[in-house]
Amino acid sequence: MIQKPKGTYDVYGEKGTALLEIEKLMKVLMENYGYEYVRTPIFEASELFHRGVGETSDIVTKETYDFKDRGDRNMTLRPEGTAGVVRSYIENKRYAEAKQPIKTWYYGTMYRYERPQSGRYRELSQFGVEVFGSTDPILDAEVISIPVHFYQLLGLKGIKVKMNSLGDKESREAYRNALLDYFKPYVDSLCEDCKARYEKNPLRILDCKVDHDKECMKHAPKMTDFLNEESKEHFRKVQEYLNYLEIPFEVDPNIVRGLDYYTHTVFEVEADIEGFGSNNVLCGGGRYDHLIEQLDGPATPGVGFAMGIERLLIALDLEGIHFHEEGLDCYVVPMDEEYKKEAFSMTNALRMSGFKSDMDPMNRNLKSNFKQADYRNAHFIMLVGEEEIKGEFVTIKDNHTKEESKVKINEIVDFLDECLERCEDHED
């Protein structure tokens, strides 16, 4: 038997319903925020991710799916969303549009060759936003507010924002030099990855999962001690705006994020959920004011976030938040093989009129069809048989009240509309 590749999963049943509901909420939320949808290719030139994500990041050094195409070009399955959206922004000259800043959102599959574990897959779904064209800290706060509100709308509790500032280029360079001086006596005791990071990007040492409990890591210099006045002011305003939105947050100097392109604000959104474990980060992001010029575009600031949907599904399950497939409005039952054509036509007419409808294609007996209607959580059952066809009516049974009605064929839509409207009014 052929099985799915390691690190992937099938979507069906309740998980499929949950994903569709999550996607629906994403779309509504992003429309409310005034963001536009953007989609980029699943594979891009490898150079994009090496230059964009960063040569020293774990994603590029260990996790990308790289291949050569038939034109002998180096290609990579996208491991994250930002680099592709930035490439699209530059290539399509969106910086020249009258509408500024450009606010976008995306949702799609990403690919990372890492060890599969709970909430981590080699094929993963990611939702994110990217905003281009303004350095105003109010956009940092707005971007942080989106995942917070998203999780709240889904019903998650215990949502907490942790944030830090990596400062501008000047501040970052001062911090880099301080880290080089500090870690110099400890380099030989660090893991092999961190030895390489020491030369290329010492900030990445602070994000190490292997060495994070070592004593030298606990006393490393903090970025907040090296911020210049401009960087401090930017960070202060972000916090001020979050306070106005009544979004609780905690300044955590240990947050540096795993990608090389961040400047100024970086943040993570956590969920305090019993059983979720220590790795309870649901979302992360920050500002990247030099990434666009790094990828050959004009100097343009940016800020964004990304969230993994797989960990979100685990959090929802642990909180007991489940999504159930909506039932049918009407389940159509042909009473005999010879009436399937009429039943099929009526089912199609119901669908075109906006009713969630299906029919029995398997010639089950009446008792079995009533069970199927229950399985499908159908509100109404419509019977189509000899008596109905001759009399130009159908028998409609309310599966909740068990009442039966004889309804003329040309009045079916009005009848169902009226019944469903009464049900909605009763629920309200």
pLDDT for the residue numbered 126: 97
Residue 207 near residue 257, CB atoms below 8 Å: yes
Residue 238 near residue 140, CB atoms below 8 Å: yes
Q: What is the mean pLDDT of each run of 10 residues along the chain (428 residues)?
A: 93 93 97 97 92 64 86 94 95 96 97 85 96 97 98 92 92 85 81 79 77 79 88 96 96 75 91 78 93 93 96 92 90 93 95 96 93 95 92 93 93 93 70
Residue 285, SS3 per DSSP: strand
Residue type, 299: A
Strands 159-165, 249-251: pairing is parallel
- pTM as predicted: 0.88
**How many Cα atoms within 13 Å fall on the side-chain side of residue 122?**
14
Per 3-state DSSP, the chain is made up of helix, strand and coil in percentages (nearest 5) of 45, 20, 35
First to last CA, the chain: 50
**Closest to 332 measured CA to CA, from 345, 318, 321, 317:** 345
pLDDT for the residue numbered 261: 76
Measure the CA–CA gap between 339 and 69, rounded to whole angstroms. Answer: 54
Residue 322, SS3 per DSSP: coil
pLDDT for the residue numbered 54: 61
> For 207, which DSSP code?
G
pLDDT for the residue numbered 192: 78
Residue 162 near residue 129, CB atoms below 8 Å: no
Measure the CA–CA gap between 286 and 129, rounded to whole angstroms. Answer: 11
